[in-house]
Amino acid sequence: MSGMLQIVFDALSLGSLYALGALGIALIFGVMRLVNFAHGDVIAFSVFALLWPSVDAVALVFAGNLPWFLLIPFVLAMGAGLSVLSELVVFRRFRRASPATMMIASFALGFVIRYFLLMLFSSRPKSISLLPTLSQPIEVLGARIPLLQVITIGVTIAVLIGLTAFLKRTRFGLEMRAAAENFTMARMLGVRANRVIMGAFALSGALAAAIGLILVAQTGTVDIQMGGAVMLMAFIATVIGGLGSLPGAVLAGFLLGAASVVMQVLLPVDARPFRDAFVYGAVILVLIWRPQGLLTARGTKERV
Amino acid sequence: MSLLALSNVTIRYGRLTAVRNVAFSLAEGEILFITGPNGAGKSSLLRAIAGVTPPAGGRIDFAGQDITGRAPEDIARMGISMVPEGREVFGALTIEENLMLGTGMHARISGWRARAMTELEVIYDTFPILKDRRHSQAGLLSGGQQQMLVIGRALMTNPRLIAIDEPSLGLAPNIIDQVYDRLITLRTHRSLTLLIVEQSSTRAMMVGGRMILMRGGAVLLDGDARAMGQSEALQAAYFGYGDH
């Protein structure tokens, strides 16, 4: 029973990370048809922003000694800031470019961010102890669950509720949903394109920063590559969910998390090192079955 | 003074010239039909006025200001409301959300919802069907209802000029009558200026007003719609140059 519960929590917390990442990608895709491959590097950047430049193995934290209620907003602001900056400096020039061109530009931007971090911090992973109290286990229905997992899941649920309320209840949210469905028509109703796009980038960057915080608290290390794995899974989640569909991205994020954890448990011991091959195999099957994704977003679909 | 004035407007898509040196002006309160066969450049002209496809040459003035090349949202905020071809409802949003989008630009964040609610009542009075289905997804409406919705949405922006591209496209004749009934009533009540693109000139002759006939990216005829209907020039313009 407690083993079962442990699996559920593992799946939910891994799925949370993927869901947060997928949301960040889907938000930007929705308003400007850009698949932002620099998203993973925003994850790394927002955490590195806490450190002094150094090549040492132990991170020199300057902002990390802040109390949590200052630390978290600081990291989120870093992610949002970099994301908005990338829109202002890079993506704004590509507004009229094809999605493929924008995607290449995002790859390039990702490399620029990564090598900037490499220059300042070297490629060696650094150990860091942020919010150490979070790694203590707590007792849930007889199972010992790391507090961090509970918090990860809780934060994700809170983000999902908050984002839904924002999109459904505020004017800016309404404008964002309209822009995601038909950007030109939204503009013809006076919706300010730049503001909506910047808003999407800010939200997406803050989500990336949240992932960065969770990853650091989980692993106790920072690494300039740290966003890559999540970014890849998150991207796959947005495709499976139906590109541009926010509920689809979240659903697929959790499904991928669950698939990874369940396969880790169910696969024979010899096959476990190849878990990811099985997960991606399942991805292929899902896409053969539903090439348009699980939930299709309006606006990307042909209208009759 | 004219509300809208186009001079020497040329529109190109790559190497294809869709509209060549078109000039006309539109007075406040006027109703102008732009008609002509497929590919005459009517829709391109509307898209240029709305700022979606900036013209390659020429100049567009609205209410005494040069709006050539301005962003669509700026033009909308100046008082031109565009109802594009194919209606373009936001299918995933509810009817009420579609309508409320139109008011966004006129109110501060705080006063927005209150203002939208008052404006909504006015729209719902004109189009009761929209009120009945206010919370259902706009994508589920019939074509005629969607046309009512996008006209209502355009009105929510409180425009001086409404530009409508093919309002009768894909609608049953009695529904087209209803749509035009509302448009004409609205025009008198709100002192709106209307710019309507239609492929066929029949409707323009029924409604009356001014009509411009376009073909091959240029203006062929410009005059009173009913008078034009009597003349042979109209048929010539549609079907060639009448040399048989």
Residues B111-127 have pLDDT tens digits of 777 778 888 988 898 88
Distance from CA of A182 to the nearest CA of B (A): 7
Q: Give residues with Cβ within 8 angstroms of A243, minimum separation 6.
A: A26, A29, A35, A293, A297, A300
Distance from CA of A189 to the nearest CA of B (A): 5
* B39-77 confidence digits (pLDDT tens): 899 999 999 999 999 999 999 999 999 999 999 999 999
Question: Phi then psi for A50, rounded to 5 degrees?
Answer: -80, -10
Give residue A65's pLDDT.
Answer: 66
Residues of chain B that touch chain A, judged by Cβ-Cβ distance less than 8 Å = 50-52, 71-73, 76-77, 81-82, 84, 86, 88, 90-93, 97, 100-102, 104-106, 109, 112-113, 139, 153, 157
Give residue A300's pLDDT.
Answer: 47
Q: What value does the mean pLDDT take over residues B209-226?
A: 90
pTM of the complete model: 0.85
- For B101, the closest of A174, A193, A298 (CB atoms) is A174
Distance from CA of B235 to the nearest CA of A (A): 33
pLDDT at A6 over 70: yes
Q: Which residues of B touch A182 (CB under 8 A)?
A: 88, 90
DSSP class of residue B38 equals: T
Cβ contact, residue pair B91, A303, below 8 Å: yes
From B111, which residue of chain A is nearest by alpha-carbon distance?
Answer: A171
Residue B197 bridge partners (DSSP): B34, B165
Q: For residue B175, what pLDDT band results from cuts at 50, 70 and 90?
A: confident
Residue A293 CA: distances (Å) to CA of A177, A239, B32: 19, 6, 45
CA A181 from centroid of its chain's CA atoms: 22
Distance from CA of B204 to the nearest CA of A (A): 25
Determine the residue among B73, B112, B117 to mutate to test chain A binding: the one whose Cβ has the most chain A Cβ atoms within 10 Å.
B73
Structure-token match 């229905």, residue found: A141
A residues 263..302 contacting B (CB < 8 A) = 298-299
Cβ contact, residue pair B50, A188, below 8 Å: yes
Q: What value does the mean pLDDT take over residues B205-215?
A: 90
Give residue B240's pLDDT.
Answer: 62
Of the listed ranges A5-19, A52-66, A156-170, A271-285, the least confidently predicted one is A52-66
Q: How many helices (H) and strands (E) does chain B have?
A: 10, 10
Whether A188 has its CB under 8 Å from any CB of chain B: the answer is yes
A172: left (phi over 0), alpha (psi -120 to 50) or beta: alpha
Give residue B109's pLDDT.
Answer: 64
When the pLDDT of each residue in chain B is averaged and rounded to a whole number, the result is 88
Of the listed ranges A18-27, A126-135, A199-208, the least confidently predicted one is A126-135
Whether A187 has its CB under 8 Å from any CB of chain B: the answer is yes
| ipTM for the complex shown | 0.90
Instruction: Of A52-56, A62-66, B212-216, give the range with the top mean pLDDT.
Output: B212-216
pLDDT at A61 over 80: no
Q: Fill in the amino acid letter for A9.
A: F
3-class secondary-structure state, position B34:
strand
| Structural tokens at position B151 | 């006209």
Distance from CA of B79 to the nearest CA of A (A): 10
Nearest 5°: the CA angle A87, A217, A148 is: 115
- A22 CB-side CA count, 13 A: 33
Higher pLDDT, B105 or A125: A125
C-alpha span between A168 and A162 (Å, rounded): 10
CA B212 from centroid of its chain's CA atoms: 14
Determine the residue among A171, A183, A296, A300 to mutate to test chain B binding: the one whose Cβ has the most chain B Cβ atoms within 10 Å.
A171
Residues B194/B187, Cβ–Cβ less than 8 Å: yes
Whether A126 has its CB under 8 Å from any CB of chain B: the answer is no
C-alpha span between B93 and A161 (Å, rounded): 19
Please report the DSSP string for B181-197 in residue order: HHHHHHHHHHT-EEEEE
Structure-token match 């509302």, residue found: B182
pLDDT at A207 over 70: yes
Q: Give residues with Cβ within 8 angstroms of B2, minimum separation 6.
A: B25, B26, B27, B28
DSSP H helices, B94-232, are 95-103, 112-126, 128-132, 143-156, 173-190, 202-207, 225-230
C-alpha span between B14 and A96 (Å, rounded): 14
Give residue A62's pLDDT.
Answer: 64
Strands (E) located in A169-240: 221-222
Cβ contact, residue pair B71, A190, below 8 Å: no
pLDDT at A303 over 50: no
Cβ contact, residue pair A189, B157, below 8 Å: yes
Strands (E) located in A29-135: 126-127
Nearest 5°: the CA angle B99, B100, B105 is: 120
Residues B204/B180, Cβ–Cβ less than 8 Å: no
Higher pLDDT, B162 or A138: B162
Cβ contact, residue pair A171, B112, below 8 Å: yes
Of the listed ranges A128-142, A202-216, A269-283, the least confidently predicted one is A128-142
Give residue B108's pLDDT.
Answer: 66
Q: What value does the mean pLDDT take over residues A27-52?
A: 91
Q: Give residues with Cβ within 8 angstroms of A56, minimum separation 6.
A: A126
Q: For residue B93, what pLDDT band results from cuts at 50, 70 and 90?
A: very high
Q: What value does the mean pLDDT take over residues A154-160?
A: 92
| Structural tokens at position A58 | 């132990």
Question: Of B188, B196, B224, which Cα lies nearest the Cα of B49?
Answer: B196
Burial class (CB in 10 A: 0-12, 13-18, 19+), A112: middle
Give residue A23's pLDDT.
Answer: 94
Cβ contact, residue pair B73, A191, below 8 Å: yes
* B135-151 confidence digits (pLDDT tens): 999 999 998 899 989 99
Distance from CA of A195 to the nearest CA of B (A): 11
Q: Please report the number of interchain residue pairs, chain A to chain B, with beta-carbon separation below 8 angstroms.
A: 80
Residues B159/B128, Cβ–Cβ less than 8 Å: no
